[in-house]
Amino acid sequence: MTTHTQTQAATDADAQLKARHAAMWALGDYAAVAREVIPGLGRVLVDACRIAPGQDVLDVAAGTGNAAIPAARAGAHVVACDLSPDLLEIGRGLAVEAGLRLDWRQGDAEALPFGDASFDVVMSSVGVMFAPQHGPAADELVRVARPGATIGLASWTPQGFIGQMFAAMRPYAAPPPPGAQPPPLWGDEGHVRELLGTRVEQLTAQKRALPVHFDHPEDFRDFFKRTYGPTISTYRGIAGEPDKVAALDAALVDLARDHQDASGDMVWEYLLVTARRT
């Protein structure tokens, strides 16, 4: 009875955590981030995975379809899966506007609602990296991939701009749940190799640079305060502490200033990984 009670409590806590994560990503306007800041990232991943007409493709933690929609445009049969129904609904509308048909499915990256060996390509563009438990998420990527399938990932690196942004926000954010690992670890080649292990072969990893432009450092800060769920959530947590708000404001402006050139251009580093399921 005690074991059952403890198991049920753990299950309930996990469900609550996932509900909070889904709500966090629905804050603000992630579609604007995908459209205005990282519009080309999904296309890069699709090209790296060599997605072809007729393939069965799964985009994990797909958001509003930054990679899923280009994959469908390439002629693949695409399932876009995400924890947040709000983001899926936006993506569904964008696909309709583009005249493309995709299957939009709500699902947890740590427990994907698909059978074993279901897809020719399993990919994620700065998405699965935000699942709290890296091991179970990696296990799921492999499980749903057919033998010989391509697994493709684009993830922000720990030392790159977004990795440093999360480091700057960490002192002001709520503590992570027990066992959760930092998202930018997916941008470390050694970590990804350890997660996937011998279940994949021909793994290649390249650090790439995404060009991003904001006219002023304050424009970056204000845009992310308005649109990006993790940043919005962090500010909400310190809303009653003006000194902390001012300190985080300054930290984000300093970060952007350190990475911008005179014209406002920045490069955001990410790790592009492709591998073949053994």
Which residues, other chains included, contact 179 with Cβ-Cβ below 8 Å and sequence gap of 6+?
132, 133
Structure tokens at 2: 């005690």
pLDDT at position 97: 97
Q: How confident is the model at residue 12 (pLDDT cuts 50, 70, 90)?
A: confident
DSSP per-residue string spanning 107-127: -BTTB-SS-TT-EEEEEEES-
Residue 3 has pLDDT above 80, yes or no: no
Beta bridge partners of 156: 270
- Range 202-209 average pLDDT: 98
Q: What is the pLDDT of residue 72?
A: 98
Per-residue b or e along 157-194, where b marks 16 or more CB atoms closer than 10 Å to that residue's CB:
bbebbbbbbbebbeebbeeeeeeebbbbbbbbeebbee
User: pLDDT confidence of 182, banded at 50, 70, 90?
Assistant: very high
pLDDT confidence of residue 178: 87
DSSP string over 146-175:
EEEEEEEEEEE-SSSHHHHHHHHHGGGSPP
H-state helical runs in 27-148: 30-36, 41-48, 68-73, 85-97, 134-143
Average pLDDT value for residue range 172-181: 92
Six-digit token pair at 108? 């947890």
Q: Compute the mean pLDDT over every residue in the chain, rounded to the nearest whole number.
A: 95
What's the pLDDT score for residue 8?
60
What residues does each domain of the chain span? 17-213+268-277
Window from 12-26, 115-129, 183-197, 223-237 with minimum mean pLDDT: 12-26
User: What is the rounded distance in angstroms from the CA atom of residue 159 to the CA atom of residue 57?
Assistant: 30
Answer for the pair 59, 39: CB distance below 8 angstroms, yes or no.
no
What local confidence, expressed as pLDDT, does residue 179 receive? 86
The CATH number of 17-213+268-277, from 3.40.1160.10, 3.30.9.80, 3.40.50.150, 1.10.40.30, is 3.40.50.150
Does pLDDT of 258 surpass 80?
yes
pLDDT at 100 > cutoff 80: yes
Q: Is the pLDDT of residue 207 over 70?
A: yes
Mean per-residue pLDDT for 146-169?
Answer: 98
Q: Give the separation between CA 66 and CA 69, rounded to whole angstroms.
A: 6
List of residues 6+ apart from 131 with CB closer than 8 A: 61, 108, 109, 110, 137
- For helices 2-26 and 85-97, what crossing angle results, to 10°? 40
What global pTM score does this model have? 0.94
pLDDT tens string 66-93: 999 999 999 999 999 999 999 999 999 9
Q: Is the pLDDT of residue 107 over 90?
A: yes
pLDDT in tens, 27-59: 999 999 999 999 999 999 999 999 999 999 999
